[in-house]
Amino acid sequence: MKRRTLLAAAGGAALISGAGWLIGRPDPVTGLLPGAANAQAADGALPQVIEMVLGNPDAAVEVIEYASFTCPHCASFHADQFKQIKENYIDTDKIRFVYREVYFDRPGLWASMIARSTNNPDFFFSFAGMLYEQQRSWLAGGDPVVIVEELRRLAKVAGLDDAALDAALSNGPKAEALFTWYQANAERDGISSTPSFLIDGRLYSNMAYPEFAEILDARIG
């Protein structure tokens, strides 16, 4: 999915500040809830962002997917090519598969904050699958309030309660850490569209499964 290159600083600030007004009455300056969760360390450092990994952590071949939860091309990839890659390469421990989010809009960031709320890869990938399968439904209409309610509905189906959701969606430091992480990744790896893939450090755009398989088989040897 062709997108703009990296968001300007002002756009990034809007993404981060927008994360807090989802519930209750936000601070008019920061956009965060009064008493929003503060996950910063004592030295002011932002919380660590954990890599979400499937497959063999020691595999010789690594595939990194860059994708956005709001990208329809990413949803198509996960409905098609990803299932075949998972069956033939991830579940058979032939590759290490890493998923990294790209944030081009606030709903994508909100979805990621929920998906990463437990820091559990099993929950993350399960919820990510739900987000892609029902993408049209939870994004329908574009109304931020409706989008948030739809995200909460999906998250409750996945097993989160209101307290966990409130904490996830009001965590300003986590939002800032995720956006900073995304920017650093995208700048370093030259990511300008989604989905994009790094296969053993080489950048590829989206492709059909037979092309993926040919590249992976050559790398695996």
Q: Are strands 95-101 and 61-67 parallel, antiparallel or unpaired?
A: parallel
Residue 88 within any structural domain of the chain: yes
Q: Are the CB atoms for 31 and 17 separated by under 8 Å?
A: yes
Residue 158 belongs to what domain range? 9-20+51-216
Residue 34 within any structural domain of the chain: no
CATH number of domain containing 69:
3.40.30.10
- pLDDT for 39 equals 46
CA–CA separation, 188 vs 182, rounded Å? 10
Mean pLDDT of 150-162: 96
Residue 32 within any structural domain of the chain: no
- pLDDT for 8 equals 37
Residue 41 within any structural domain of the chain: no
Mean pLDDT, the chain, as a whole number?
85
What is the model's pTM? 0.84
Residue 162 within any structural domain of the chain: yes
* Domains held by the chain: number: 1
Residue 137 within any structural domain of the chain: yes
Residue 30 within any structural domain of the chain: no
Instruction: Flag whether pLDDT at 127 surpasses 80.
Output: yes
Residue 43 within any structural domain of the chain: no
